[in-house]
């Protein structure tokens, strides 16, 4: 189903019983009416195709489906562009909490699948609250500043990439030390298969947002794209070509390849100066949306955020430190080290 949120008319979200505004509920996986309470399950079409991947063939010109967005909300602060479906908070950017203005939308690529929100706003807020409460050396008034924050639900754009890599590598291995130190050059070949590498498809998806949902991504949880899942939430559409997505993944993939090479070199020595060349084949990709809650708060005049995965509720975030608590902990550690030194000295006395 490639229906865009914009073409999914707001009237389609109205409750057929009372004409109230409906929103997607992670608890019931349905469109729920905020007025009369009617609940209508969302039944995704072609469920068996949710995990389908698309092959990249360099010998065949790419023709990718695109869809027009009549209008989007653009942030005046960070430049992020999102669409809102239904009764969503439409005057603040979910990425940075800046003010947004309406502007004409550009064509975007069709979303292939998504993982719907599985964590409610209330549970996400509680997870963020626990994360804040667990920070050591935090200022005493941090919790109060946090409670004044604003929570936003966002479907962020991502890629998944598969590829096969035929790698030829070379490196230096150093063993021993001092006069026994020896360095030798080695080389080798290996094959690597990358499956479902998860790559942000927007510069606005920061490492903090990415890490909020990266580690526990499960492609089996994908469902076919359907606009009702976005009702009441913000979403950023896909604007990158496949080539741009692969380029964005290049540095992370290079790091993964070097780590695989280190694991392939069986030695007790130190491996350095790793170089390689690879022949990449079998590229497959998906354009997907993944859910994330972002709580924006301010402390000391500075904007900070706590990110909660909309999939499993795990929280990551930004926080300030208390100078006085850090100084106190440092003093305690110094005193403890001094006490250990004194006791050790006394124990060694005749």
Query: Residues in the chain with pLDDT < 50?
Result: 1-2, 6
Sign of CA pseudo-dihedral 116, 121, 124, 128:
positive
Would you state the structure tokens that stand for residue 156, as one six-digit string? 């962020």
Task: Give the pTM.
Answer: 0.85
SS3 282: strand
* Cβ contacts of 34 within 8 Å, gap of 6 or more: 20, 21, 22, 23, 87
What per-residue confidence (pLDDT) applies to 60?
54
Task: Look at residue 296 in the predicted model and tell me its pLDDT.
Answer: 94
For residue 308, the model assigns a pLDDT of 94
SS3 category, 220: helix
In angstroms, rounded to a whole number, what is the distance separating the alpha carbons of residues 105 and 90? 15
Alpha-helical segments (H) within the chain: 121-133, 142-147, 207-214, 242-264, 323-347
User: In this predicted structure, what is the pLDDT of residue 208?
Assistant: 84
Closest CA to 319 of 97, 92, 137, 77: 137
pLDDT value of residue 330: 74
Report the C-alpha gap between 91 and 277 in whole angstroms: 48
Give the pLDDT of residue 46.
Answer: 65
Dihedrals phi, psi of 128, to nearest 5 degrees:
-65, -40
> What is the CA 263 to chain-centroid distance, rounded?
27
Which residue in the block uniquely carries the two structure tokens 């499956």?
Answer: 195
Contact 113, 223 (CB under 8 A): yes
Structure tokens at 241: 């070509």
- Separation of alpha carbons 253 and 286, rounded Å: 17
pLDDT at position 159 is 94
Please give the Cα distance from 36 to 47 (Å, whole number).
30
H or E element at residue 84:
strand 81-84
Sheet (strand 22-25) strand order: 22-25, 30-33, 39-41
Degrees (nearest 5) of the Cα angle 31, 37, 42? 20
How many Å from the N-terminal Cα to the C-terminal Cα in the chain?
Answer: 84
pLDDT for position 110: 85
């Amino acid at each position: 189903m490639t229906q865009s949120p914009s073409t999914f008319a707001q009237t389609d979200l109205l409750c057929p019983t009372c004409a109230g505004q409906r929103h997607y509920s992670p608890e019931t996986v349905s469109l729920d009416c905020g007025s009369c309470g009617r609940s209508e399950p969302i039944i995704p079409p072609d469920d068996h195709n949710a995990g389908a991947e698309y092959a990249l063939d360099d010998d065949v010109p790419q023709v990718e489906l695109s869809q027009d967005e009549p209008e989007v909300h653009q942030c005046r602060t960070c430049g992020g562009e999102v669409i809102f479906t239904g009764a969503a908070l439409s005057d603040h950017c979910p990425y940075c909490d800046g003010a947004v203005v309406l502007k004409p939308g550009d064509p975007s690529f069709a979303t292939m699948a998504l993982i719907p929100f599985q964590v409610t706003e209330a549970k996400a807020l509680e997870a963020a609250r626990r994360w804040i409460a667990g920070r050591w050396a935090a200022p005493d008034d941090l919790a109060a500043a946090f409670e004044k924050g604003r929570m936003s639900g966002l479907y962020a754009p991502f890629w998944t990439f598969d590829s096969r890599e035929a790698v030829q590598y070379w490196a230096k291995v150093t063993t021993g030390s001092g006069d026994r130190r020896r360095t030798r050059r080695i080389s080798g070949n290996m094959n690597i298969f990358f499956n479902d590498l998860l790559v942000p498809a927007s510069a606005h998806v920061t490492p903090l947002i990415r890490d909020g949902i990266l580690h526990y991504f499960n492609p089996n949880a994908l469902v076919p794209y359907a606009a009702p899942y976005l009702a009441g939430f913000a979403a950023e559409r896909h604007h990158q070509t496949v080539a741009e997505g692969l380029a964005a993944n290049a540095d992370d993939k290079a790091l993964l390849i070097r780590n695989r090479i280190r694991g392939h070199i069986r030695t007790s020595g130190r491996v350095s100066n790793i170089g390689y060349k690879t022949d990449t084949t079998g590229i497959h990709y998906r354009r997907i949306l993944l859910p994330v809650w972002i709580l924006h708060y301010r402390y000391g005049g500075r904007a900070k955020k706590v990110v909660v995965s909309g999939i499993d509720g795990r929280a990551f975030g930004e926080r300030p430190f208390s100078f006085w608590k850090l100084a106190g902990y440092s003093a305690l550690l110094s005193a403890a080290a001094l006490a250990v030194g004194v006791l050790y000295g006394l124990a060694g006395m005749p």
